[in-house]
Each structure stands twice: as C-alpha cells, then as structure tokens.
Amino acid sequence: MANNNFAKTKKEFLDYLRFERLLSKNTLNSYSRDLNKFSLFLKKNKKLDFKNIEKESIVSFLQVLRETQSSKSISRILSSLRNYYKFLIREEIVENNPFLNINNPKTPKRLIKVLTVDEVKKFLESIPTSSKLELRDKAMFELLYSCGLRVSEIVNLKQGNIDLNEKIIFFIGKGNKERVCPIGYQALLHLKTYIFNARPKIEKGRSNFIFLNKNGKRLTRQGFWKVMKKYAKKLGLKKEFYPHIFRHSFATHMLENGADLRIVQELLGHSNISTTEIYTTVTKKHLKDTYFKYHPRETER
C-alpha cells in the first residue's frame, strides 16, 4: 500500500514540475529515473514507509546506490529526492524532509587540462598561411588564445565587435555589461591580414560575421571543431584537445606570469571571481613543479 502511495505522489510531483515549474521533458525524465531508484529500494524493503523513512534506511539506500552509481549521479539523486520531499511538505503529506541533512558524496576535483606555452606556440606556428582558409585559421586561433575567447564568441564574432585602431574586441553581455579584451600584436597582425586579404575572397554576398566557412557563411561550432582537430592531429599532440583548452590555457598562462586574478576575471567575462579561481589550482601546481625543479637545495639529489 505504501508503494502505491509513493507511485501516486511521484506522479503528482512530476505533474507539478511539468505544469507549474514548466521543466523540460529531459529534466522530467531525469527526475523520474532518480525517483524510480528510490521506489525500487522501497519495493525490496517492504516494511519501509516513505512517509516516515529514517536516516538508517537512507544510509542503506546510499550503500545500494554506491554499487552502481558514481558520486555525481548519487548527488543528483539526492537532489531529486530533496525536491520531492519538499513538494510532499508543501502538500502536507509529510512534516519533515528526511534528505535535508544528508550530505552529498565528495567528488574528486578535476584539474582542468591546459596546454603549455610551448604547445600553444607549436600549434599556432603549425598553421600554414598559403591559402585564404589557412589565413582564416591562423587569425582565428591566434585571436582565440590572445583574448581567451569562448568558441561561441569566436564563431559569432561580428565586424562591430572589433576596433582595429584601438586594438580591442568588445562584447555586450548580460545586463548590458560591456566586456573588453585587448588584442595582442601577433593576433592583430594575422587578423588584419585575414580581414583585408583573405576574407573578401571567401565572402559570398554580405555577411557581418568575421570568420566564414568555405561557402561564405558563418563558421559553425562544428566547423571550428573540425578545423581544430585537423591541426591537432597533424601536429601529433598527445593531449586531449577540445575547443575550450585555449581559453583555459590563456587564463592559466596569464596567472602564471603574474597577472592579477581580478584582471583575468574581467578578461574572461566571469561574473563571479570564484569561477576564475579554478585556474589558481593549476598555477599552484605550476609553482610547486617550478620550485622542485629550480630550487638549489632540491636539485642536489
């Protein structure tokens, strides 16, 4: 009977999420899968009543989850159940949320992957400049690293975003907040070459976008990804290559060379400095590696 009541309240909860919270179908499916795991646990432990479940039983449930689920998945399931019981309290079905004080499992911090300065240099210098598309690629990747841009910003970059005389790129973000990025010498040199010499030969019709594909249309994220993989494969770099790695590398290299954290925050366009602070973890590792490599008392081994 208790399980039937759980199924009934689960349906009411999902209806609430769908019609009142207006959550997407994918999110609703995720909630449903999470609640089904709890439902299965209740069915195997028929004496348990979801309305009066105690911490000891929740611990047993977590032990079952750990057999098949990652820490990240368990955290998500706990979040779903907290929201479910929050709904039950609102509907006056239960008085307390038994999952409220259950801590999420600790997940190991993932160090972001970055390229070394030499790896960035090798990548950029590996791009030839003999064709109009190669000139585009050279300008695109030089600019990507020079300004720490997101891939979405590169492919959506318009002529109005660039002031070649002032040597800056600017964007208007949330709340009409302007973000300004200086353009480095090398990036500016290749960007001018592309805009004035190569881009007119690629453009077909009028386009306000800076970086165009071979058909004269805006380069897509997928198109950018294909171009990047081509050069990475040609160079034979063993590191995992992904578009955001240039932005990560930009931030890390700036901090390693003494840039102020808040300046890097502004350059990246982070609204919260805690987002930028993830790069300090990498630079701490760099400091330790440098110390053990160059300290005179550490090299005498």
What is the pLDDT at residue 284? 65
The reply to whether 142 and 35 lie within a common domain is no
Q: What is the pLDDT of residues 93-143, one digit of tens each?
A: 999 999 988 888 876 666 678 888 999 999 999 999 999 999 999 999 999
C-alpha span between 168 and 292 (Å, rounded): 39
- Is 106 part of any domain? no
pLDDT of residue 1: 47
Residue 296 has pLDDT above 70, yes or no: no
- How much of the chain exceeds pLDDT 70, in percent? 88
Total domains in the chain come to 2
Options 174, 206, 297, 301, the catalytic residue: 174
Q: Domain boundary at 90, 108, 133, which?
A: 90
Contact predicate 114/249, CB 8 Å: yes
Does 101 fall in a domain? Answer: no
> Do the Cβ atoms of 52 and 24 come closer than 8 Å?
no
Among residues 150, 217, 218, 286, the one annotated as catalytic is 150
Catalytic, 113? Answer: no
pLDDT at 297 over 70: no
Chosen domain end from 48, 74, 90? 90
95 within some domain: no
287 and 157, same domain (yes or no): yes
Choosing from 18, 179, 270, 286, the catalytic residue is 270
Indicate if 182 and 41 belong to the same structural domain: no
Which of these is catalytic: 84, 85, 231, 279?
279
**221 included as an active-site residue:** no
CATH number at residue 43: 1.10.150.130
Q: Could you list the residue range(s) of the whole structural domain that residue 85 is in?
A: 2-90
Catalytic, 150? Answer yes
Active site residue 206: no
Active-site residue 76, yes or no? no
pLDDT digit string, tens, across residues 131-190 = 999 999 999 999 999 999 989 899 999 999 999 999 999 887 655 677 889 999 999 999
Residue 136's nearest CA partner among 62, 216, 190, 73 is 190
84: Cα within 13 Å, side-chain hemisphere: 28
Of the ranges 7-11, 86-90, 135-139, which is most confident?
135-139
Given 138, 190, 199, 247, the catalytic residue: 247
CB 76 within 8 A of CB 5: no
In this predicted model, which residue has the larger pLDDT, 172 or 262? 262
Residues 166 and 213 in one domain: yes
Which residues have C-beta within 8 Å of that of residue 130, sequence separation ≥ 6? none
Task: Tell whether 55 and 182 lie within a shared domain.
Answer: no
- Mean pLDDT score of the chain, rounded to an integer? 87
Residues 8, 11, 66, 244: which is the catalytic one?
A: 244
Q: Read out DSSP for 183-227?
A: PPHHHHHHHHHIIIIIHHHH--S---BSSB-TTSSBPPHHHHHHH
Residue for token pair 């009543």: 49
Residue of 232, 157, 224, 233 lying closest to 195 (CA atoms) = 157
Tokens of 27: 């999110």
Same domain, 38 and 147: no
Q: Does some domain include residue 194?
A: yes
Residue 4's pLDDT band, with cuts at 50, 70 and 90, is low
| Residues 233, 132 share a domain | yes
> Cα–Cα distance between 137 and 124 in angstroms, integer?
9
To the query of whether residue 297 is one of the catalytic residues in this protein, the response is: no
pLDDT at 85 over 70: yes
Residue 110 lies in a domain: no
Is the whole model's pTM more than 0.85, yes or no? no
The domain spanning residue 272 has which CATH number?
A: 1.10.443.10
SS3 state at 180: strand
Q: Give the end of a domain, one of 46, 74, 90.
A: 90
